[in-house]
Structure 1
């Protein structure tokens, strides 16, 4: 295998960052966008939900295409369509058109998973984890950096400028992908049938993973709880920071994305650890760290330093587990990495949505402490899921050893 060059890693990490930003950038400017588009207070949740709904649909319907067609061409085309969705959002005359644009951008933002599958396919085995870690760092950069960008642009140039910038960046990256990446050179195997038939089979294979693959089930469930915990923090953090005694504005709240970014980038070595066979233990202690981060995050008075430390720890833990999971799954299923990653990320999407919904409910019911207890509970469930999987693996190994000994 020729591997992935440094320039290619940078371009693909930027693709991940910009594409996923189109799903999350609306959150810091939601009130301004809603007022401009004529949305009532009760309808403000729909613009944020539209991107997530489109993203979930893309995970199920579009990601399997990455196992059937040339991924360089697919990445280029999807970036152009993300740009179209962002442009529609920027020019929308009303809420319905804006939500259609956001859903379109979210639908094709699953280019992120095609990127991961491309990197897994062209990387040398000893560099797969490192390369996956590098490009998926861009996902967290996009999720958290979108808050900083949107907060700053929203206060200075208006919320529509956020989507103008994202549309331009997507088009520029589409050109860069076409110039920098090489075709992955895959051709259909003899006897595999038409593309439509292979696509139908790929969808069926995604569904069967949940039923037949224990590693996938475990990692999917861990992702569900992992990103429910992550979503609880980042969907609810603006509430205590915007309230007494801090009363921060949109720009100041958005800057907390830089704190999370420091933690996420600190986990870039998780891919190297996975390359050395440590994906499972890294997942275990990172999930334990995720649980520990929440008591710190709960402390917002009289100083915010414990919260800052807790956010760094949380984002470090989330990224370390996320990279480890994708390394394990793409190694176990190298021939259908796209479909496996798409199915895995469906758990991510559902978990993120659950975290967003329950954080608002918990804050209304019991304040920031209740919100943090909810996030910690999700983290603990993820750790229990990991421990249960490790226990079953050890039992299976012990049973096989007994069988081989003839006892």
Structure 2
């Protein structure tokens, strides 16, 4: 297949291209939602019986409720199957991710004003979190770490993990979960696992928040339970944007675009630069590099359908394009990237300098790789410690403050037609006096 990327010298044309690619990314078909409503009702009404039924139907696996939970022996075997260097890599990564996220934790605070009002904020973690880890042909131990460790850093008491059953469970996934301190790991996958986490069954405990990636059925199920529980986000296809100047190595830029494209056919890779020479050279190199990759069929489809380059007049204009794009991943392959860092307003994660590939963030840097996609970095943040913390307002009023503000309360309550609100203040003052 011939490799080609869409080239734009006009920001307006690029915006239309991007709009088309992102349009409907997070739409969910009525057909899928109707199917999942039935599954949800069954899980709520029948609990474990429904989980066994849908596991047999979708995963072709006979599984009784007493076998949902991965036992101690299976967990121990998974950990013991790791080679010494493999366990070392996983444990060091967990430690680094924990170190980063432990710095984000907020503290409870109280403030006393001179006129007799105490206000503050009580900070507490959610009590129980559920992590969904996909099964299938791929193995995702990094997904376990990047979802579980921020919750642990926040002080979440219990993390529950669900993952689809198979003849041989992935040892790297199970071992990573054990090394993250996850006690309860269930062999349940698909939308039925999401509903089990959201509403609870006889065997699987109800959680307060569900995190982790999944297919369209899992994503739709997460959207359906949002409001009954919290979720991390509804993730669309993975994205990378790379800002380059003349100092960038076009071969490195090309391989980074390929590394994003290999996720799936919908992945979006964007090169933004004021150098037409970089665009031409990256395009030529892409054509040579793609064919050596094991996932070249996926990469070719992704690049041909969704990759693009945008020619700008300056680095500043390139940054303007990025701030509108709000990509999941942003690489700054430019001279002195820290000088431009604070001009970036919208990005899930920023990778500075030619020696910082996006894969560093995916696996070993420390920040969670769970990032907003589809332009939602304009208003969403990455999954982190704060994602698992609840903030509760604290208010204590003295009689002096209440007396002083009674007329203000009466003013608002009168305008809004809520007379008892005003009386709740005036009655207290009369009683005490």
The alignment's TM-score, normalised by the length of structure 1, stands at 0.21
Structure exhibiting the larger radius of gyration computed from Cα positions: 2
Structure with higher RCO (Cα < 8 A, 6+ apart)? 1
Normalized per residue, the structure richer in helix is: 1
